[in-house]
Amino acid sequence: MAQNFIKRGLNILLARQTNILSAAFIIMSTIILSQVLGLVRQRLLVGIFGASNTLGVYLASSRLPDLLFQLIIAGALISSFIPVFSNFLSKNKNQEAYRMASSLLAIGFVIFFILSLILFILAPLFLKILNLGAGFSPSQMNLMVDLMRIIVFGQLLFIVGTFFSVLLQSYNHFFIPGIAAALYNLGIIIGIIFLSSSFGIFAPALGMIIGALFFIFAQVPMIKKVGFIFKPSFSFKVPGVLDVFHLMWPKTLSLAVFQLGTLATVTLVSFLPNAGRNYVIFDYAQTLAFAPVALFGQAIAQAAFPILSREREKMQEFKSTFITSFNQMLYLVLPISVLFLVLRIPIVRLIYGAGQFDWAATVLTGKTLALFSVSIFAQSLIALISRGFYALYDTKTPLIIGTISTLFLIFAGYFSVLVLRMGIESIAMSYSLGSILNLSISLIIFYKKIGGLGTKLLFFPTSKIFLASFFTGIALYVPIKLLDQLVFDTTRTINLIFLTGISSFIGLSFYLFLTWLFNVKEATTFLLIFRKIGNWKEVLDKSEEIIEGPNLRP
């Protein structure tokens, strides 16, 4: 019986998802695993190195390799590959799709290898030109260069795994790519645990290489199952390749602007006293704030993207899929934003409260997290709206909007740090304001582009969710204040866990009740799942956003 249960469970997880909600459920499950491992990784790092300049150097050293990876690979795969590849599959042109995919992988890998080699050799020069070393000593700069060279090699391996993930997602396979991403974090954890005593801060960088190998090999069996065989080709004449590059360049520029904004943030942090420590606090607060964005925002947007790409010529179905995804995303992410805002200090203490992470760092990280939390909903919805533009073969509009919001972020951060002499929290606030500005402009333009979204279907539910979230904040604040002062001694970890858990349960239960009372459709959907948790697959399969078509089987 146990064997049959395990077998049925694996069949469900390895099967192609048939609707957005079930796909998002699978993605969320793997993201939870990945983020738990990610938090273990962060806690291990801060437990060993503390909120120190050394850890700050390591975190900063990944920014430039990540910029290169985002520009060369993510720009093509996320915004351009899926629409073109899905179009081939929908017309039963599987072999043409595979030839196009092989060519893109070969071309992308060679381009990235050449640029990585340049970065490897000229790393000190790039750091100097981009002013990333401001605030760091010469020895710390040398350490950053060495770490960056190791990370670049790991990114080179990561390309192949990312390509496999996007190809499987085009077939609506989301479980294996998600597990593979979690294994990447596991590789870093292995590096920290087993190598830090011998290699110090180089251990997590070496762990990235281990994780990248896990990321690749975990997906190979499923890649074989869908029928893809890599046949190297460097020809731009292969059908579909030029289409991808045509769609790619605005997204690449958009990512370049965003990543330059990220690099500018690193530079701004370096102007603060004790730059390395401040950068650790900023990075750790941002990691926590990004958790619900990845869990709900990225998951639902990622699940919806292949469907939106296939529905671009059926505008009513496109709108229906978008509105449903929008409301589901907002319903899930907004109460988490409020929870992070109200329970910021307990959350930071529980997750990062290692011996090397002192109380001053905890308080400052909590304040920074609170200001990041203001825009969690905006960052999540931007992921969906951007993919809505990409599905319509419009990659230029997100570029323009992203440029405007990033310039605003840089200006606001510069003004707050260098003119007003404010602390690290002000950069988080600038980031949040830039994200909300991005969302506002994106939503207005997208609304006009597709001829409206329907006030009753979109804005009425949205207003109810915001109202319920406001009262949820009060429901979270009151019990934590009362219990903290009258019941629990929160100097002990177990009491802090009880306090945070009880307050969260009261607040989120109140949110669920209010949205049910306000007749929010998403509340009914998720209540049904909770009531029939033993039969969750049947509930998810009844979702109206069907994404499996007869022409998509490999």
Tokens of 269: 């942090």
Which residue is it, tokens 């990041």? 372
SS3 of 124-150: HHHHHHCCCCCCCCHHHHHHHHHHHHH
Residue 536 lies in a domain: no
Residues with Cβ < 8 Å from 371, sequence gap 6 or more? 425, 428, 429, 432
Residue 5 lies in a domain: no
Cβ proximity of 171 and 195 under 8 Å: no
Which 3 state secondary structure label does DSSP give 213?
A: helix
- Nearest 5°: phi and psi at 546? -75, 130
Residue 404 lies in a domain: yes
Tokens of 319: 């709108």
Neighbours of 416 (CB within 10 A): 18
Domain count, the chain: 1
Tokens of 421: 């002499």
Burial grade of 451 (CB within 10 A; 0-12, 13-18, 19 or more): exposed
Which 3 state secondary structure label does DSSP give 546?
A: strand
Residues with Cβ < 8 Å from 331, sequence gap 6 or more? 461, 465, 515, 520, 522, 523, 526
Burial grade of 360 (CB within 10 A; 0-12, 13-18, 19 or more): exposed
- Nearest 5°: phi and psi at 19? -155, 165
Q: How far apart are CA 278 and CA 281, in angstroms?
A: 5
Residue 485 lies in a domain: no
Residue 12 lies in a domain: no
Q: Of all helices (H) and strands (E), which one includes residue 420?
A: none
C-alpha angle 371-373-379 in degrees, rounded to nearest 5: 115
Neighbours of 518 (CB within 10 A): 15
- Cα–Cα nearest to 405, from 355, 439, 456, 371: 439
- Cα–Cα nearest to 45, from 30, 56, 35, 55: 55
Q: What is the largest CA-CA distance in the chain?
A: 72
Residue 493 lies in a domain: no
Per-residue pLDDT 10s for the chain (554 aa) are 455 544 544 554 555 555 566 666 777 778 788 888 988 898 888 888 877 788 888 888 887 888 777 776 765 565 678 778 877 877 788 888 888 888 888 888 888 888 888 888 888 888 777 666 566 778 888 898 899 999 988 888 888 888 888 888 877 777 888 899 889 999 999 999 999 988 999 999 999 999 999 999 999 998 888 888 888 888 788 888 888 877 777 777 777 777 777 777 777 887 888 777 887 888 888 888 988 888 888 878 877 877 787 777 788 888 888 888 888 888 989 999 999 999 888 888 888 875 567 778 888 889 999 999 999 999 999 989 988 888 888 878 888 898 899 889 889 988 988 888 888 889 999 999 999 999 999 999 998 888 877 666 667 788 888 999 999 988 888 888 777 666 666 667 777 788 888 888 888 889 988 888 888 887 776 665 555 444 444 444 444 444 443 333 33
Query: Which residue range(s) make up the domain with 160?
Result: 18-453
